[in-house]
Amino acid sequence: MKKIYIAAYQQSKFGNLFDTTIPEIVQKAVLGACEEIEIEPRVIDVGSIGATCNISLNGQGLLAGLLAEVEGLAGKPIESVENACASGGQAILSTVQKLQLGWGEVGIAVGYEKMRGDDGKMDGKLVGKSLGFFSHPIEREGKVYTFPHLFAEVMQEYMDAYQVSEEDLAEIAVQEYANAAHNPYAQMQKVQVTVEQIMRIEGFNRYIVEGLPLKTFDCSQISDGYASMILATEEGLNKLSVSKADCVELAGFAQATDPLQKGHRDVLRPSGAYSAMNRAYEMAGVREKDINVAEIHDCFTVMGALGTEVLGKADLGKGAPYWTEGKAAPDGECGINTSGGLIAKGHPVGATGVAMVGWCAWQLQGKVPPELQVPNAEVAATFNIGGPICASVCTVLKPAT
Ligand SMILES: CC(C)(COP(=O)(O)OP(=O)(O)OC[C@H]1O[C@@H](n2cnc3c(N)ncnc32)[C@H](O)[C@@H]1OP(=O)(O)O)[C@@H](O)C(=O)NCCC(=O)NCCS
């Protein structure tokens, strides 16, 4: 296989894009990434774009065609991909696969989501229904906030299985909000929380489903945002006149999908997620102990704990202590979700997978704010999932050699 490099990364601030139209979002995503390395879009050979609620919330399909609207991209191999919240990761993989096939030497991966109205307001129930389409019909029946509900069940199962408390999981959100305070791209940059606040049921902070432990502060945000990345082979870097020293290598990547119904499998030890992570490690020639930067799919606090286990940083049921002991902090053993994660950076679903890899690339390049910079960031890993812990995209990043 050819070596693949991240030549450029760019993202919007997550939160609100107000009345920016979908065609405008796609244009901005492409041009922004191109500007980073001062190239014209016409030098891009292949591309892929991921989103999830584009039809249900935006009334827009065939996003590949919008990508091809960008001057210089018409008539090129470009596709739209959807794997729920792993759509962004999937867009990266789809671009990489085209490069591996020899369809070109330079590619672009774009992810976006527009989940809020033009006035910046969200309709939680409508979003709950739209995201609900990404669950099995049998398991979504009767649920209003489908994914918060499904993950409230996972949270309960996790707490029961490992004697973990709501407070233990709340600590993950506290660390993430603290990280987001330093991330200018984070939706929750101005919100800080304590465990006491998370445990206090008042105002918007409520149990989302009566009788289950998941509270508003355990949830990721409803966000607008986009992220884009230029990927290139070695030949592609020459074509772009980008030096390898200014790049990060996408040294490992893998994907795996489990059956959609969560009720029929062990969601606390999701086989697809472990398989994808381990294959990405193997491909990169690294072990979990080598990873000291990571972005994981904390769509809900329980996934912060479980994702830490998938990374191999903690044993089963021990993901939360990894955070409470400070090991996941920017200056800890492995800085996890130093961006603020989906809980505090925000979760524009289609953009998330691209943004995880992009933030890790910035970490390895020493480009994140100093308060969030992992000292001696060496090898990074990402774990992006879609659906009820169903479709996983995992990557490993290394400095380019
Ligand atoms: C938690 C959730 C259900 C709340 O939705 P809701 O009940 O419609 O929202 P509420 O009416 O309670 O809250 C409205 C206000 O409370 C505040 N608020 C809500 N959640 C907040 C949070 N986590 N932190 C801080 N403030 C928050 C905001 O001010 C919000 O208004 P905004 O439009 O200015 O952002 C929703 O955010 C959600 O579904 N999150 C998960 C998204 C998801 O499932 N993603 C896919 C994962 S697989």
- The per-residue pLDDT for range 27-85, each reduced to its tens digit, is 999 999 999 999 999 999 999 999 999 999 999 999 999 999 999 999 999 999 999 99
CA 156 – ligand 1 centroid, Å: 20
Using most ligand atoms within 8 A of CB, pick from 114, 136, 219 the residue to mutate for ligand 1: 219
Task: Give nearest CA residue, ligand 1 atom 19.
Answer: 204
**How do residues 273-313 score in pLDDT, each as one tens digit?**
999 999 999 999 999 999 999 999 999 999 999 999 999 99
Cβ atoms of 143 and 149 closer than 8 Å: yes
pTM greater than 0.95: yes
What average pLDDT is seen over the chain?
Answer: 98
Task: Give the pLDDT mean for 123-131.
Answer: 97
Query: For ligand 1, which residues put their CB under 6 angstroms from it?
Result: 85, 121-122, 124, 127-128, 131, 145, 147-148, 191, 204, 208, 216-217, 219-220, 222, 299, 347
Residues 332-350: b if buried by 16+ CB within 10 A, e if exposed: bebbbbbbbbbbbbbbbbb
Pairing of strands 5-11, 225-232: antiparallel
Q: Which domains does the chain have, with CATH numbers?
A: 5-118+223-246 (3.40.47.10)
| C-alpha distances out from residue 307 to 23, 298, 348, Å | 34, 7, 19
Task: Give the pLDDT mean for 228-232.
Answer: 99
Q: Locate 327 and state its tokens.
A: 């090991």
Using most ligand atoms within 8 A of CB, pick from 16, 197, 221, 303 the residue to mutate for ligand 1: 221
Using most ligand atoms within 8 A of CB, pick from 83, 126, 204 the residue to mutate for ligand 1: 204
Q: How many CA atoms lie within 13 A of 366 on its CB side?
A: 4
Distance CA 270, CA 391 (A): 10
**How do residues 335-387 score in pLDDT, each as one tens digit?**
999 999 999 999 999 999 999 999 999 999 999 999 999 999 999 999 999 99
Could you tell me which of 318, 323, 311, 270 has the C-alpha nearest to residue 163? 318
